[in-house]
Amino acid sequence: MTTAAILEKLPYSAPFLFVDTLEAIDEQQVTGSFTFRPDMEFYKGHFKGYPVTPGVLLTEVMAQIGLVCLGIYLTGGPEGVSFGLTSTHVEFMRPVLPGEKVTVTGEKIYFRFGKLKCRVTMINAQGETVSSGEIAGMIVHPANRNS
> In terms of residue numbers, what domain contains 9?
3-144
Single pTM value for the model: 0.94
Q: Domain with 23 in it: what CATH number? A: 3.10.129.10
Count of domains forming the chain: 1
Instruction: Tell me the β-bridge partners of 30.
Output: 25, 106
What pLDDT, on a 0 to 100 scale, did the predictor assign at position 83? 87
What pLDDT, on a 0 to 100 scale, did the predictor assign at position 19? 98
Ranges in the chain, pLDDT < 50: none
Is the separation of the CB atoms in 102 and 69 below 8 Å? no
Active site residue 46: yes
Long-range contacts of 17-21 (CB under 8 A, 24+ apart): 17/64, 18/57, 18/60, 18/61, 18/64, 18/65, 19/61, 19/64, 19/65, 19/69
What pLDDT, on a 0 to 100 scale, did the predictor assign at position 141? 74
What pLDDT, on a 0 to 100 scale, did the predictor assign at position 144? 58
Q: Which candidate in 10, 46, 98, 124 is catalytic? A: 46
